[in-house]
Chains A and B, each alone.
Chain A
């Protein structure tokens, strides 16, 4: 499974998200290839899952990948709940 963490520039915010997503995936025992990138590069990629903020999710509307929205990037519990919801569906 490939997961893409997306922010505006692909430098800071998405890297923070990626580190926390990787932590949560370890807790959930889920194997995945996690990468981070900027929103314009994300449009041309085809991961299984995109994790991003509500703001940027709107720019990715119509993207083929499933999008998971995270509001608080430091809250691993929120990230865990959001990812679990996706995996259980």
Chain B
């Protein structure tokens, strides 16, 4: 399980489309060999087919695909966009915090989701994520890896 490790985080990325933002979170996962490149394509395909339902809360998106699309290990990456981007969600747009989920079929899948919920379920943490400057600050919020 890899949860918001330094190599999986990119802050203030200058991208202005939902597809670009989704690909960026996927690229962080594939560069660390946690998912196949086919998985990144599947993340974009899911957005094109099912719409922006994965914009789970105001400002927060969780793009992902299926384990069978090519996941090696349960993981979450994080891209903070330099400027908020509209995903087309009726109530939660625009989005600045994008978490790429490598959805695994193992028990770790539930564990990474619970860790993510622990982090994002607290509005103070969401506010902090908009302003953190380093990975260390994020690491403190998630209690280390």
Measured CB to CB, the residues of A under 8 A from B are 7-9, 11-13, 15-16, 19-20, 39, 52-56, 71-76
Q: Which of B46-62 contact A (CB under 8 A)?
A: 46, 49-54, 56-58, 60, 62
Interface residue B145 (Cβ < 8 Å from any Cβ of A): no
* CB neighbours of A15 from chain B (8 A): 109-110, 113
Counted as pairs of residues, one from A and one from B, with CB atoms less than 8 Å apart, the total is 76
* B56 in complex: contacting residue of A11, A16, A54, A56, CB < 8 Å: A16
Measured CB to CB, the residues of B under 8 A from A are 46, 49-54, 56-58, 60, 62, 64-67, 89-92, 101, 103, 109-110, 113-114, 116-117, 120-121
* CB neighbours of B103 from chain A (8 A): 9, 11-12
A64 to B91, CA, bound (A): 25
Given known A-B contacts A8-B54, A39-B50, A74 and B90 have beta carbons under 8 A apart: no
